[in-house]
Homo-oligomer: A and B are copies of this chain.
Amino acid sequence: MPKIDNILAILWMLSSGEKITAKQISEKLEMNIRTVYRYIDTLSTSGVPIISDTGHNGGYTLLNHFIEAPLFFDFEEQTSLFHAAVFAEEAGYYGGEALNRAISKLSKHSNQEQEAKINQHFNSLEVISRFSSLSKAGFLNELELSVADGYSVKIHYDKSGEKQLKFRLVDPYRIIYWNNKWYVIGFCHLRNEIRSFRVDRIESLMPTENKFEQPENFSASDFFMNNLLPTIEDKEEITTLIITGGNRALEDICGHWFLGHYLHQRSSDQAIFLLEKDILHTYIPYLLLPYGKSIRVTEPISLKERLVEVLSELINFHQN
């Protein structure tokens, strides 16, 4: 961080009117405290009316709140903010309106040369929307407010694809974005436990005035991933799955959102996974079918048999 940026940051901190210590400044700006003292001295010498108190409850304040330190970004910083907005848009971020406002403000604060440079680099990248017929998740804005302010919501949730008549009261803890989908995690009063809900399957949503307490030290991502991936608990049930095939197909399989978690070892022509027998026979066959003949199951034999079994069933199914 250049010196001028840090000097201006200190100015801005002081302008907020709060008393602040040199230690706090040094931590926030990640500077040596001796440098903080120097910069304060520089600002003081330059005429900024800084008041300094020693001892307990010491720190710095400004005599008046008349100093305004301007905020500006160099072209790289601006370009990266613009690009970040594009990624958020592609994800269907609910705060798009505020984001557009911010981006608009930013774009009005460059001269022509800066603008040309920013455009040059902004246009280097194009984010293509991944096709999705899922309508933009409709209740994200309401959900976010309920999460932030801690109010329960009443929802109609369409889990099985069939209409349900029962409302659920949910304390929404957090919104999750994962694998191009939006979820909300919260305490479901209908099931009396923490659940996650796909936002695009919420049929209706009503805010309530029921205030709830957010749980402390709740890790939404831990809960979410634990529910998604059955945890491996009993070491005796672990089976080795060995798949051989071309580099490309193996690469794809090892990067699969589900199976990738169970990867144990990889070489150029084979991949070894460790997972439970249950998972092996229920999920894996269908997961492997799209790879056709570009991969082969080497072990276990039981999975090869299960594969053939599944294929036979499908033949019968599609012939009737």
Contacts and interface: CB of A to CB of B under 8 A. Distances in A.
Contact of A84 (B4, B85, B311): B85
A165 interface: no
Contacts of A274: none
B108 A28 contact: yes
Contacts of A161: 246-248, 251
B63 A45 contact: no
Given A87-B88, A257-B131, A98 B80 contact: yes
B74 A125 contact: no
A3 interface: yes
Interface stretch (A172-180, A187-195, A205-213, A233-241): A172-180
A232 to B, nearest CB: 16
Interface residues of A, number: 127
B133 A148 contact: no
Interface in A35-81: 42, 44-51, 63, 65-66, 68, 70-81
Contacts of A1: 101, 104
Contacts of A49: 72, 109-111, 114
Contacts of A96: 80
Given A261-B131, A307-B318, A311-B314, A74 B46 contact: yes
A51 B111 contact: yes
Given A11-B70, A85-B84, A174 B114 contact: no
Contacts of A248: 160-161
A81 B81 contact: yes
Contacts of A148: 120-121, 124
B296 A18 contact: no
A106 interface: yes
A119 to B, nearest CB: 10
A202 B48 CA distance: 46
22 contacts: A5-B105, A9-B105, A17-B111, A47-B73, A63-B110, A66-B109, A77-B98, A80-B98, A80-B102, A81-B84, A126-B221, A127-B178, A130-B178, A131-B256, A132-B257, A161-B251, A180-B180, A286-B289, A292-B314, A293-B314, A311-B315, A311-B318
Interface of A: 1-5, 7-9, 11-13, 16-18, 28-29, 42, 44-51, 63, 65-66, 68, 70-81, 83-85, 87-88, 90-91, 93, 95-96, 98-99, 101-102, 104-106, 108-114, 120-121, 123-128, 130-134, 144, 147-148, 160-162, 174-180, 220-221, 224-225, 246-248, 251, 254-257, 260-261, 263, 286-287, 289-293, 296-297, 304, 307-308, 310-315, 317-319
9 closest A-B pairs by CB: A161-B247, A47-B72, A16-B111, A289-B289, A77-B102, A76-B98, A80-B99, A84-B84, A84-B88
